[in-house]
Structure 1
Amino acid sequence: MSLPAISGGRRGIDMSLVAGMGVMQAILMIINAFATRDLFLALHTSSPLPVMDLATLVLAALAIAALQALARVRAEAIGQSYNLELRQRLFEAIAGMPTEQRDGRRLGGLSLRFVGDLSAARGWVGLGITRLLSGVIVLPMAGLCLWWLNPLLALAGGIPILLAVAVSLAMGSALNRLHHNLRRRRAGVAIAAMERISIARELALMNRLPRELSYLERKGSRSADDAVQRVHRVALLRAVPNASLGISAAAILWIAAQVGIPVAEAAAALSVLAVLVLPLKEFVGVWDRYNGWRIARRKCQRLLAEASVVPRPRRQRRAVGIDLDNISVGGVSLNLTIRPGQCVRIVARDGDQAGMLVEAIALRRCCDTGTIRFSSNELPAILYVCDTPTVLRGSLRRALTLAAAARPGDERLREVAVGCGLGELLKRLGGLDGRLAEQGRNLLPGERMRLSVVQALVARPDIIVINSRLWPGLADGQALLELLVATGATLVHTLPEGIDAGNSHVLVVQASDREWSIQPSAPQEEVLRTDTQ
């Protein structure tokens, strides 16, 4: 997976338009310079002021203002367009990560890809590239115009500007290092703060809050110092063209006085000189944005390079078989074929091993070795029933139907929810329109697990995988399992034998030194044993 093309879609055309608007502004400024020369000439000779030149000054100023506004709006649209595509690409990369790989990364670090990096991308694509394109056209145009006005004045004004360019190049080389330090330390502050936000009260109760605040303050002060250094360097770079403009203007006036160049030509040269310096000031911002984008691009590319293929499940509307081909997960080895519609109970040396195995079957975890295949040609719809189901902030209705291809009516949904023991939750929240917090934090643990069961019943997937530690403590645990068995989906679970109550076709046991493996075909089939080394 790679970064989106900067000129993809309409962005290339819009960039050309914005750059063209910048060139048009420069042309209008140069026209103003010549109009200024004619007006100064008329004033010097006590002649009537040319009406056309006065009108040119007014109309050109209005046109420049309009072009500036239009260019800024289009540049923002370009940056937002790229941000939208990059955000989608990054989210797909995260969605393609196995659960354990995603959990191995800090949430704050992943979040920064959607905040700081996108801001840097928008600045470079929207304001950096467009101003760079217009600047490389305007700069030689203004230089040629100044030379055409008067070569001597062009030399007098151009030498300080060339020196300013050399100074800027020398000073600007440090911006990349400053951006790197700033973004690294800002990321550290954001990651550390986000890690502590969810447990802030717990830290206070442990009397850790003063120490943690001191830690965040130290990191924040270093980040603030880096930010000041970067702004200081950018401010110096912006000041160099302004200083060179004053020196060049003084040089032009001194040469004009020494050689006897007409005042009108000197005034026009000063106007063109302002146009010449304008791209140099813009280039400072361009270079600053580019260095910020370089850091962000490197981090985004690293994330995209780690991404796997995004799963695209498609409901088969029938039970799907599972072929576990010599897989190994967390020390558990298994070679098993589960036929469509069968119910299989997995038992391992401990619950954690069994849990990791069913997580792999549900595609929440990668296998250490081996391959998991399905009898369908496409990836089937798999629903993972667990104690922490997938819940987005919003209505209870939305949470219950999150995995459903078609949302059932409210009466049917309420009936299923009550049948799974969520009647009290419906009353407490005020019905299906009741609001759930992020990740269902305002739900009780048992309610979250029951909500996961409702999701499976409503979605009617091809495969259902159950991995719950709360289920054995439910009084109606066996009834809930029978509801899922009745869907006809292939079912794999880690529930105790007492809850299973003969629903499972196969029992698979992983001993400490042996692998128990069978090819199931009928309920209560005899278990065959195969020694492993």
Structure 2
Amino acid sequence: MAARRMTPLPPLLAVGRRWLLARVAALTLLQAAAAGAAAIATRSLFAALDTAPEDLPATALIVLALSGAVIATVRVAAQLAGERLGQGYALDLREALFDHACAMSASDVAARRSGYVGLRFVGDMTAFRNWARLGLPRLIAGVILIPATCLILAWLSPALLWALLPPVAVALVAIVAGGPMLVPLQRRLRARRGRIAAEMTERMALAPEIDRLGRRSGEMRRLRQRSERMIQAALARLRLAEALKALPDLVAGLCAALLILIGARTGLGTGTIAAALAVLGLLLTPMRELAGVWNHYAAWRAARDKCAAALARPRRGNYGRRGLPPGPVTLSMAGLPLNADSPPLSMTCDAGARCLLSLPEAQISHLFSLLQRLEVPPPETLFLSGIPLEQLSRGALRRNICRIGPDVPMLRGSLRRMLTLAVSSRPDDDRILDVIDRLGLRGVLCPDGDLNRRVSEGGRNLSTEQRAAISLVQAAMARPRLVLVGQDMSAAGPDLCNALGRWLKGASVTVLCAESVAARIGLGEDATTAGPAG
């Protein structure tokens, strides 16, 4: 049975990313120091304007001028560090999701909607990246800059700090209290937006057929209804998010008025008041960003839950460590269930024998998936050369079992790449063409000898004959010990069937073949037929 072990989410603060986060914190402290120096310089310059406007302190002017450049440079550096942090985190997540999908059974992967699979690698990655790139660094900036600016205000005048604290504290409490309400709103928005994106991704490929069936209006009406619900969710999320961001602006005017009023009544100079107003501007910026942090956090929470659910899906379990002995394999099945409606399969196929399967197409396909470990067979039901399948290593299965037919997987790339997918080391072009010529497939695959021909994902730009021919060349170069031929080869032409038959006669391999195809590829009378046990 499939293992239920959950793949953990990659840690946000892995070793390399901890240093990036520490760099963001250090740069934020430097930004706070530059802001404090600018406030001190502003105070000094305003004081000089009152006493000796013709003799302004040069040091204060230089500090004030340079503080802006320092803050701007530090902010860019912090953004770059945050971007590296976010991209590194997203990369680890992509690898974890893809690695987990590779370990799932083929049927579980096929059961997932392709649109949602794409969202895991695109939409959710944006949420993860934005939390690491924007949310976490801005949270750190708020934690550092807000207390730092309050300390600068206290240094300028404790009375100004006490005047500013009540409205600032009220705004911060409202931001902290209102932020968690974004989590369910963001989750609902992402669910509705994801449903639309997944459906449109899948339906775009079927658009001409949908129109032919007269379902264009119905699908557009469905899209409009779901979009309206998504828009309502987006507005609800945006309303709260922007309200939280607006709280600092709401108290900004009141804080400025209080600074001027308290400064005038306590006899503070214009320089101190001007410096306090500058500090107020610096204080409001991290408060606004702190309100935005909640939005990134809410999106991250929703995406994290989705990815955690994806990584919790059952895996096929670990491979063993054993290899196969030399020569063709002996294949044995002991009470192997293929589906709930048919009796289990028990049979033995001797080394080098040709065994025909008298089974429905779906059961043959499932059996081949079990042999290739795309699905998980019950333990102690499948044996290769006396070794339980679950004890064999990944390499042993990959090198020694080949399936021939038009439905083998094909990746986007050159024809050369497709023909050598099943071999450990890629042979040169002369070797590839020699194998093609010996099989008599030059006219089918590359009449001009050009191996640079582009093959689309899944071999969509190839004919059924060409895809099956590629699988045969792959097997001829890989030299497997067990060859699987399914009913999909019934669609192959006579030239390809003859080429397969000639190769099988000259190859020292064990063959498992659908009975309906055996006559077409010329398997001899000595082939044995197997079906489910009665």
TM over 0.5: yes
Q: Is the 8 Å Cα contact of residues 92 and 310 (structure 1) preserved in structure 2?
A: no
Matched, 1:275 2:282: yes
* Alpha-carbon distance in structure 2 between the residues aligned to 1:300 and 1:343: 45
Determine the structure 1 residue equivalent to 2:9: 3
Tell me, in whole angstroms, the C-alpha distance in 2 between the residues paired with 1:75 and 1:219: 35
Verify: 1:483 aligned to 2:500, yes or no. no
Query: Distance in 2 between the 1:218 and 1:176 partners?
Result: 24
**Which of 18, 39, 50 is residue 45 of structure 2 equivalent to?**
39
The corresponding residue for 1:521 is none
CA 1:460–1:32 in 2, change beyond 3 Å: closer, same or farther? same
Distance 1:337-1:510 versus aligned 2 partners, 3 A rule: closer
The 1:236/1:368 distance shift into structure 2, 3 A limit, reads same
Q: Does the alignment pair 1:142 with 2:152?
A: no
The answer (yes or no) to whether the contact 2:178–2:244 under 8 Å persists in 1 is yes
Which residue of structure 1 aligns with residue 428 of structure 2?
409
Aligned match for 2:231, one of 216, 224, 234 = 224
Question: Residue 30 in 1 paired to residue 30 in 2?
Answer: no
Q: 1:310 to 1:32 in 2, by over 3 A?
A: farther
More off after superposition, 229-238 vs 149-158: 229-238
Aligned 1:193-232 pairs, distance under 5 A: 193-232=200-239
- Tell me the amino acid that sits aligned with residue 233 of structure 1: L
2:468–2:492 contact (8 Å) kept in structure 1 = no
C-alpha displacement of 1:88: 0.9
Report deviation, 1:179: 0.8
Residue type at the aligned position of 1:235 = E
Per the alignment, residue 120 of structure 2 pairs with 113
Cα drift, residue 320 of structure 1: 4.5
Distance in 2 of aligned mates of 1:486 and 1:225:
68
What does the per-residue CA deviation read over 1:82-104, in whole Å, with 9 as the maximum and x for residues that have no partner?
11111111111111111111111
Q: Secondary structure at the match of 1:306?
A: coil
Return the alpha-carbon distance in structure 2 between the equivalents of residues 218 and 485 of structure 1: 61
1:74-153 equivalences in 2 (<5 Å) = 74-153=81-160
Q: CA deviation at 1:395?
A: 1.4
- Distance in 2 of aligned mates of 1:378 and 1:175: 48
Pairing 1:284-303 to 2, within 5 Å after superposition: 284-303=291-310
The one-letter amino acid paired with 1:333 is P
- 1:440 corresponds in structure 2 to 459
Instruction: Return the offset for 1:318.
Output: 5.3
How many residues in Structure 1 have an aligned counterpart in Structure 2? 511
- In the TM superposition, what is the alpha-carbon distance from 1:37 to its structure 2 partner? 0.7
Deviations 1:243-299 (A, max 9, x none): 222211111111112232222222222222223222222212221111111111111
1:346 to partner: Cα distance: 2.3
Q: Please tell me whether the aligned partners of residues 38 and 53 of structure 1 are also in contact (alpha carbons under 8 angstroms).
A: yes
Partner secondary structure for residue 470 of structure 1:
helix
Q: Which runs of 5+ in 1 are unaligned?
A: 515-533
8 Å CA contact 2:101, 2:109 repeated in 1: yes
For the pair 1:510 / 2:519, whether they are aligned, the reply is no
1:47-446 → structure 2 map (5 Å cutoff): 47=53, 48-308=55-315, 319-330=328-339, 331-338=342-349, 340-348=351-359, 350-367=360-377, 371-374=381-384, 375=387, 377-379=392-394, 380=396, 381=398, 382-420=401-439, 422-427=441-446, 431-446=450-465
Q: CA contact under 8 A between 1:77 and 1:126: conserved in structure 2?
A: yes
How many angstroms apart in 2 are the aligned matches of 1:485 and 1:311?
A: 35
Distance in 2 between residues matched to 1:429 and 1:195, nearest whole Å: 37
Alpha carbons of structure 1 residues 266 and 243: separation in structure 2 relative to 1, 3 Å: same
- Root-mean-square deviation (Å): 2.6
Q: For residue 461 of structure 1, give the secondary structure of its aligned residue in structure 2.
A: coil
Query: Which among 512, 519, 523 is matched to residue 492 of structure 1?
Result: 512
Residues 371-397 of structure 1: CA deviation (Å, up to 9, x unaligned): 434437523223232331211122111
Same amino acid, percent of matched pairs: 32
Q: 1 or 2, which has the higher helix percentage? A: 2
